[in-house]
Amino acid sequence: MRIAPTFHVAYRALRRNKMRSVLTALGIIIGVGAVIAMVGIGNGAKAQVEAQIASLGQNVILIFSGSTTSSGIRTGWGGAGTLKIEDAEAIRREVPSVIGVSEEVVSTTQAAAGNQNWFTRIFGESADYFDIRQWPLSDGAPFTPQDVRSANKVCVIGRTTATQIYGNENPIGQILRIKNVPFTITGVLTPKGLSPQGVDQDDIVVMPYTSAMKRVIGGTTLRNINVQIDDPAQIAPAQQQIISLLRQRHNIRPGRDDDFTVRTQQEIAEAATATSRVMTVLLGAIAGVSLVVGGIGIMNIMLVSVTERTREIGVRMAVGARGTDILTQFLIEAVTLSSVGGLIGIICGIGASSVLSIYAHWPTLISIGSIAIAFLFSAAVGVFFGFYPARKAAALDPIEALRYE
């Protein structure tokens, strides 16, 4: 029953000290704005990672040579050359749900055409690669299974490689010299942009893995095998089948670690988003600190205000205000400061993150949930930091308060 006039009193008190109220709210505005923008950046990065994991292809299983935990030491994926071409063939032959397999070897080297030079990444793949990665060509045609079988000197290049070497010329049909071996370009891949790690995915030359192993990279082992499964429900069984098939082929006795690593797309996605989730939490926490600083600002101003208005509190008590009335009045003041600051902060945060995404091309994502949480949190900051000063005011002795100079 006394709440409405108490609101009015609190509102008037804030209006009376406009500049001070604005500055105090500014602490919260900056805090909430920072939280919204930072979490927006973190979530945007996460969403981008997820989108790119999805662009790995559909229902994909990756097999890397080397174990992540061989004798307790991480050798890293592709660390030891244990995957053979025959392993890939066995998978193609013996795992029924497999619809595509691409043997992969990777290297970085110089590519040249005419007087143009470009240092780029060489991927040796099978003809299934473009289907597995769901990476169509924008121009020309991919190499064929026949090219793979015959280790033909053909390749497909990414958009970046194309522009770096050929500028505006059409690269299709041109000769690209890699380690002095002339390759004929049959197609150009559609651009994919940056990977989550910041690698330009379009800076690439894709050629038959046979050609790569024979003419460019050398060696007899694969870095990894990309496998595509026909049905998401078959991914887990297929993963198990591949593991037991490879263990058998590699003569690994029961109880010994695998000398290869099988990862589903799901697992890779989880690992990648875990990183960006950590980043989101970290950014949010740093921004949260500024929100807490804003809260301390509110507490400080409320304490000053209680001291300044000691006489007023005394008068109010003399005319019948209870401790709880005084407490509510100051709490409402604090919460009004913090939640109005929160609202403005949310608007500023949204503004800041859209500026970042427009001008710095950072992906940002602001959800309704994070807005609601930011608002509730700012109100809670008001309650938390306003409570002590408010209680101090409510506990004043009316006689002493009236006599306060």
Residue written as tokens 């040796």? Answer: 124
CB nearer to another protein: pick between 126 and 336:
336
Which listed residue (311, 351, 358, 372) binds another protein by CB under 8 A?
Answer: 311
Picking from 141, 144, 125, the residue whose alpha carbon sits closest to that of residue 133 is: 125
225, β-bridge pairs: 63, 103
CA distance 188 to 183: 14
x-marked contacts with another protein along 263-302 as a string, rule CB under 8 A: ----------------------------------------
- The upper half-sphere exposure of residue 62, i.e. CA atoms within 13 Å in the direction of its Cβ, equals 20
- The upper half-sphere exposure of residue 284, i.e. CA atoms within 13 Å in the direction of its Cβ, equals 17
CB nearer to another protein: pick between 278 and 318:
318
The whole-angstrom distance between residue 19's C-alpha and the CA centroid of its chain comes to: 40
CB nearer to another protein: pick between 240 and 324:
324
21 binds another protein (CB under 8 A): no
* 3-state secondary structure at position 28: helix
CB nearer to another protein: pick between 5 and 114:
5
Number of neighbouring beta carbons within 10 Å of residue 202: 19
The answer to whether residues 219 and 81 touch, using CB atoms and an 8 Å cutoff, is: yes
The answer to whether residues 303 and 386 touch, using CB atoms and an 8 Å cutoff, is: no
CB nearer to another protein: pick between 11 and 119:
11
The distance between the two most distant Cα atoms of the chain, rounded to a whole number of Å, is 102
312 binds another protein (CB under 8 A): yes
60 binds another protein (CB under 8 A): no
The whole-angstrom distance between residue 280's C-alpha and the CA centroid of its chain comes to: 8
CB nearer to another protein: pick between 149 and 322:
322
Of 139-147, 156-164, 306-314, 364-372, which part binds another protein (CB under 8 A)?
306-314
CB nearer to another protein: pick between 19 and 319:
319
CA distance 327 to 325: 5
x-marked contacts with another protein along 320-349 as a string, rule CB under 8 A: xxxxxx------------------------
Which listed residue (12, 93, 149, 256) binds another protein by CB under 8 A?
Answer: 12
The whole-angstrom distance between residue 27's C-alpha and the CA centroid of its chain comes to: 28
317 binds another protein (CB under 8 A): yes
Q: C-beta of 392: minimal distance to another protein in Å?
A: 15
Of 3-11, 47-55, 229-237, 363-371, which part binds another protein (CB under 8 A)?
3-11
The DSSP result for 61-123, as a single string, is EEEEES-TTBTTB---TT-S--EEHHHHHHHHHH-TTEEEEEEEEEEEEEEEETTEEEEEEEE
120 binds another protein (CB under 8 A): no
Which listed residue (314, 342, 349, 386) binds another protein by CB under 8 A?
Answer: 314
Which listed residue (196, 237, 363, 398) binds another protein by CB under 8 A?
Answer: 398
Residues in the site for another protein, rule: CB under 8 A? 1-2, 5-6, 9, 12, 16, 311-312, 314-325, 398-399, 402
